């Protein structure tokens, strides 16, 4: 069952992600960003016009490639044009061509629209209130991530078959593995090369907004990539799959994959991730425990989980202590690092985050119903040394805040958090209808992923970012339609070989993706 993640689509996607990274290096150090972005727009137009499923595969690959879509970027008339924007423009131009060519109209069920209705109203209020009360440029920068939800229209309009769902699972797996490999490579690079190369790499990673690298002392670095989120969600898929694994070979594969996932979690040193994954694991155990037939499998999950945690520490140690070309870290340095991270109470990020709470609550209380609009700035005292270099007293104003749920309320009013919570309940209610099917692991993985996302958003904003919005859209691909019977759900096969459910005229381009 593990093998279904690693087919042709997986390896092709991994190659595309690698090429994007190389292109990013080339455009950053040599140039040619304009040419690369134009080529990407044209490629997206071509594939989307031929088949929107192919276009959406490209959309999610770009999402998995980097947190902010800035791997490749350029300025046009003082306006920053990024890789993510180029993919967005290319997709919707191609999708419009596809609709005209096939004489189709986007078909969205009323219940799908209703699921997003409250959130759509809240977003509209955020923009209107923002443009009335706040600086227009800040409003756009703050709220533009929600344009990502426009991908919901083509997603809802496609009659998703089992083959295309299988392809998207493989693309997701490729994105997860890519972020694991990237995290490992960055850790190895920063712990084995000269200070000059480290400085160059740090500036590159900072400028393309790919990763946050923090020197923790003793030549040890924290490697945090926001898209590590997808690697951790992939871990919940693997844990859910363990309850259905029947061979020792696949059990070993699952443990190795989980070890890589947990190693990434440790490298991120993100307390928000740690808290989110705890909530996800509680839900996972609860779901498996409810099925009395899987009590034994629950024990197997626990054994695999503990084995993976131990093995993940060996992974990190091997990467850091590998003697080629040079070894700059000792074993005691690693142990001291984790002890400090778990026990220290004076962390700058923590203190600054708590100092932000009161100003946010005060701002919310001024407009608790309709909010203050996108672009609303809050002034607070920060302990961040970079900010104190600019403002000696530490007073800092920003519209980009931690405490995600408070930010939603602050900017979109009470409908902001309500809209997301309603969407959360709607999606999970539909996914739970799959729990009795033979492929319940897909449902379990997606449910746990959503729990992880919504819990992490308490401390770090993800729902107002394409990462969180993109994952919600990704889950919608697998949400069963209300008219689908349990028999149809049980027939789900991941070998990716399904015929079209309804005949179509010869002039209509099939939405099925080709793969052998």
Instruction: Look at the chain and report how many structural domains it folds into.
Output: 2
- Give domain status of residue 407, yes or no: yes
| pLDDT > 90 in the chain, percent | 59
Q: What is the pLDDT of residue 191?
A: 87
- Give domain status of residue 481, yes or no: yes
Q: What is the mean pLDDT of residues 306-317?
A: 89
Residue 218, pLDDT above cutoff 70 = no
Q: Check whether residue 337 and residue 196 sit in a common domain.
A: yes
- How far apart CA 125 and CA 449 sit, in angstroms, is 28
Q: Check whether residue 324 and residue 194 sit in a common domain.
A: yes
Per-residue confidence band for 337, with pLDDT thresholds at 50, 70 and 90: low
Q: Check whether residue 201 and residue 222 sit in a common domain.
A: yes
Q: Are 3 and 169 in contact (CB under 8 A)?
A: no
What mean pLDDT value characterizes the chain?
Answer: 85
Q: Distance of CA 32 to CAs 35, 37, 45, 75, Å?
A: 5, 9, 20, 12
Q: Are 368 and 427 in contact (CB under 8 A)?
A: no
Q: Check whether residue 194 and residue 335 sit in a common domain.
A: yes
Q: What is the pLDDT of residue 485?
A: 42
- How far apart CA 414 and CA 273 sit, in angstroms, is 26
Q: Check whether residue 371 and residue 463 sit in a common domain.
A: yes
Q: What is the pLDDT of residue 333?
A: 53
| pLDDT > 70 in the chain, percent | 84
Residue 331, pLDDT above cutoff 90 = no
Q: Check whether residue 336 and residue 373 sit in a common domain.
A: no
Cβ count within 10 A of residue 215: 12
- How far apart CA 154 and CA 160 sit, in angstroms, is 11
Give per-residue pLDDT as tens, 496-514: 333 333 333 333 323 333 3
Q: Check whether residue 407 and residue 456 sit in a common domain.
A: yes
Please state the length of the chain. Answer: 516
Q: Check whether residue 337 and residue 192 sit in a common domain.
A: yes
- Give domain status of residue 403, yes or no: yes
Give per-residue pLDDT as tens, 242-277: 877 777 888 888 899 999 999 999 999 898 999 999
Give per-residue pLDDT as tens, 276-291: 999 999 998 888 877 6
Torsional sign, CA 148, 149, 155, 157: negative
Per-residue confidence band for 295, with pLDDT thresholds at 50, 70 and 90: low
- Give domain status of residue 61, yes or no: no
Q: What is the mean pLDDT of residues 390-394?
A: 71
Q: Which of 308, 343, 378 finishes a domain?
A: 343
Q: Which ranges of 134-270 would DSSP assign to H, the alpha helix?
A: 136-143, 152-157, 162-190, 195-207, 228-242, 248-268
Q: Check whether residue 443 and residue 471 sit in a common domain.
A: yes
Torsional sign, CA 81, 87, 89, 90: positive
- Give domain status of residue 64, yes or no: no
Q: Which of 309, 343, 377 finishes a domain?
A: 343
Q: Check whether residue 271 and residue 193 sit in a common domain.
A: yes
- What backbone torsions phi and psi does residue 158 show, to the nearest 5 degrees? -85, 135
199: CB partners within 8 A, 6+ apart:
none
Q: What is the pLDDT of residue 488?
A: 45
Q: What is the pLDDT of residue 340?
A: 54
- How far apart CA 152 and CA 59 sit, in angstroms, is 12
Q: What is the pLDDT of residue 503?
A: 37
* Best CA proximity match to 143, nearest among 355, 416, 385: 416
Q: What is the mean pLDDT of residues 233-250?
A: 85
- Give domain status of residue 204, yes or no: yes
- Give domain status of residue 60, yes or no: no
Q: What is the pLDDT of residue 512?
A: 30
Q: Check whether residue 206 and residue 315 sit in a common domain.
A: yes
Residue 367, pLDDT above cutoff 80 = yes
Could you list the residue range(s) of the whole structural domain that residue 418 is in?
A: 109-159+347-489
Q: Which of 343, 367, 389 finishes a domain?
A: 343
Q: What is the pLDDT of residue 239?
A: 87
- Give domain status of residue 119, yes or no: yes
- How far apart CA 235 and CA 305 sit, in angstroms, is 10
Q: What is the pLDDT of residue 499?
A: 33
Give per-residue pLDDT as tens, 81-94: 999 999 999 999 99
Q: What is the pLDDT of residue 513?
A: 34
Residue 318, pLDDT above cutoff 60 = yes
Q: Check whether residue 260 and residue 141 sit in a common domain.
A: no
């Amino acid at each position: 069952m593990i093998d279904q993640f690693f087919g042709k689509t997986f390896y092709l996607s991994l190659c595309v992600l690698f090429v994007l990274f190389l292109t990013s290096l080339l455009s950053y150090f040599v140039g040619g960003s304009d040419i690369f972005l134009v080529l990407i727009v044209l490629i997206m137009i071509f594939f989307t016009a031929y088949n929107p499923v192919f276009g959406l595969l490209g959309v999610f690959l770009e999402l998995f490639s980097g947190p902010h879509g800035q791997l490749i970027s350029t300025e046009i008339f003082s306006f920053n044009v990024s890789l993510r924007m180029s993919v967005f423009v290319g997709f919707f131009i191609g999708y419009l061509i596809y609709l005209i060519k096939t004489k189709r109209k986007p078909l969205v069920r009323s219940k799908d629209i209703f699921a997003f209705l409250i959130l759509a109203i809240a977003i509209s209020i955020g923009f209107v209130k923002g443009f009335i009360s706040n600086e227009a440029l800040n409003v756009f920068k703050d709220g533009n991530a929600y344009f990502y939800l426009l991908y919901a229209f083509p997603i809802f309009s496609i009659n998703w078959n089992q083959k295309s769902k299988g392809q998207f699972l493989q693309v997701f797996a490729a994105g997860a593995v890519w972020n694991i490999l990237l995290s490992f490579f960055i850790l190895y690079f920063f712990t084995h090369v000269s200070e000059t190369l480290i400085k160059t790499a740090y500036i590159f990673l900072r400028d393309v907004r790919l990763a946050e690298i923090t020197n923790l002392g003793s030549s040890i670095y924290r490697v945090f990539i926001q898209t590590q989120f997808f690697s951790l969600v992939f871990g919940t898929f693997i844990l859910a799959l363990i309850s259905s694994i029947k061979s020792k070979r696949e059990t070993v594969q699952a443990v190795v994959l989980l070890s890589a996932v947990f190693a990434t979690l440790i490298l991120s040193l993100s307390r928000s991730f740690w808290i989110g994954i705890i909530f996800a694991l509680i839900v996972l155990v609860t779901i498996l425990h409810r099925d009395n037939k899987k009590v034994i499998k629950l024990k197997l999950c626990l054994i695999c989980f503990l084995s993976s945690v131990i093995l993940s520490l060996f992974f990190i140690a091997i990467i850091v202590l590998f003697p080629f070309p040079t070894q700059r870290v000792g074993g005691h340095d690693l142990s001291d690092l984790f002890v400090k991270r778990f026990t220290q109470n004076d962390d700058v990020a923590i203190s600054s985050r708590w100092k932000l709470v009161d100003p946010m609550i005060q701002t919310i209380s001024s407009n608790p119903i309709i909010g203050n609009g996108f672009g609303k700035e809050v002034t607070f005292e920060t302990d961040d040394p970079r900010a104190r270099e600019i403002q000696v007293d530490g007073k800092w104003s920003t519209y980009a805040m931690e405490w995600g749920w408070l930010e939603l309320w602050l900017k979109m009013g009470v409908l902001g958090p309500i809209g997301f919570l309603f969407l959360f309940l709607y999606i999970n209610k539909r996914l739970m209808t799959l729990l009795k099917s033979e492929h319940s692991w897909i449902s379990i993985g997606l449910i746990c992923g959503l729990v992880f996302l919504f819990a992490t958003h308490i401390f770090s904003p993800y729902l107002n970012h394409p990462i969180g919005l993109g994952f919600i859209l990704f889950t919608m691909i697998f949400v069963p339609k209300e008219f689908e019977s349990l028999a149809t759900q049980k027939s789900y096969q991941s070998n990716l070989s399904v015929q079209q459910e309804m005949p179509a005229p010869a002039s209509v381009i099939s939405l099925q993706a080709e793969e052998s």
